[in-house]
Amino acid sequence: MFKILTLNNISILGLERLPRDRYEIASEIQHPDAVLLRSFKMHEWEIPGTLKAVGRAGAGVNNIPVDKMTKLGIPVFNAPGANANAVKELVLGAMLLASRNLLPAWDYVRGLQGTDAEISKQVEAGKKQFVGSELVNRTLGVIGLGAIGVKVANAAQSLGMQVMGYDPHITVKNAWQLSSQVKQALSVEDLLSQVEFVTVHVPLSDATRHIINAERLKIARKELMILNFSRDGIIDDVAVGEAIKANQVKGYITDFPTNLLIKHERVIALPHLGASTNEAEENCAIMVADQVRDYLENATIHNS
């Protein structure tokens, strides 16, 4: 019997890949053979001597001490691409939300009072106040052309946006999937100097930490709109706060709220919702449970 410890909620569709006659699965279990998790921070966690595999039901692995696991000979499995569609849809939704002023407009409507005739007058005023702009022909920069970045770039392209991408490490497979209409930037600076929206889709590492920082914001196109559905730390929030004050940056939409910017009127912060759809949670759980099962049972390591 293999013992699986779940450190976060994992979709039942994934857990069902581990048959009950061979697996005991619980959120509290002694001597686990494997752990399944989402955002649980494993760095401070005491690694049980029985642990043989880690399954991260998501793409990023920065909440796992991968180097330490590697030294211990414990493979870390993840689910790259399994939630790419969820993130893509949220990025597009966030751009639409911002460019059509939907949040302040909704807030305005919720504050309306009076008879229907009075409300109708206020609606007319709101209609003038919240005039938005369309995404067609607007420029979007996508930093990171992995599974998510490619989907975002192609979808934005199909909305009529002019898309520019930057990824010096793009794989051949992703390059093939990328629309030929997506222009390649020479550098992050090159991209930032040309686009009105920028979205980041890179994993957090020493090379990507603060990929958008004060220096780069100085050369960015004025009134840039920044989206971060990737990881906390990829954007320098302090620099973004300063750039918003200086009107260099128009707004910031982030899935990683920090104390500094959470209440800022030109910041929309969400509670790490990028991959939070039923479909993505199921896809990730299935992908990772299959990998952990194949490793525990057959010592097979595969990329789904």
Of residues 66-95, which lie at the interface with ligand MLT (CB under 6 A)? 83
Out of 24, 40, 60, 154, which residue is the one contacting ligand MLT (CB under 6 A)?
A: 60
**CA–CA gap between residue 115 and residue 140 (Å, rounded):** 43
Residues 109-118: b if buried by 16+ CB within 10 A, e if exposed: eeeeeeeeee
Nearer to ligand MLT, 92 or 191 (CB): 92
In three-state form (DSSP H/G/I as H, E/B as E, the rest C), the secondary structure along 287-300 is: HHHHHHHHHHHHCC
State in angstroms the smallest separation of the CB of 85 from ligand MLT.
12
Q: In the block, which residue shows the tokens 């920065």?
A: 62
State in angstroms the smallest separation of the CB of 207 from ligand MLT.
17
Out of 39, 154, 193, 277, which residue is the one contacting ligand MLT (CB under 6 A)?
A: 39
Q: In the block, which residue shows the tokens 């309306």?
A: 112
Q: Which amino acid is at 148?
A: I
What x/- string results for residues 176 through 215 when contact with ligand MLT is judged by CB under 6 A?
----------------------------------------
State in angstroms the smallest separation of the CB of 275 from ligand MLT.
4
In angstroms, how far apart are the furthest CA atoms of the chain?
71
Nearer to ligand MLT, 58 or 149 (CB): 58
**CA–CA gap between residue 190 and residue 150 (Å, rounded):** 19
Tokens describing residue 121: 């007058």
Out of 14, 55, 58, 165, which residue is the one contacting ligand MLT (CB under 6 A)?
A: 58
Instruction: By CB under 6 A, tell whether 54 contacts ligand MLT.
Output: no
Of 107, 27, 39, 8, the residue nearest 271 (C-alpha): 39
Size of the site for ligand MLT (CB under 6 A): 9
Q: What are the residues binding ligand MLT (CB under 6 A)?
A: 38-39, 58-60, 83, 272, 275-276
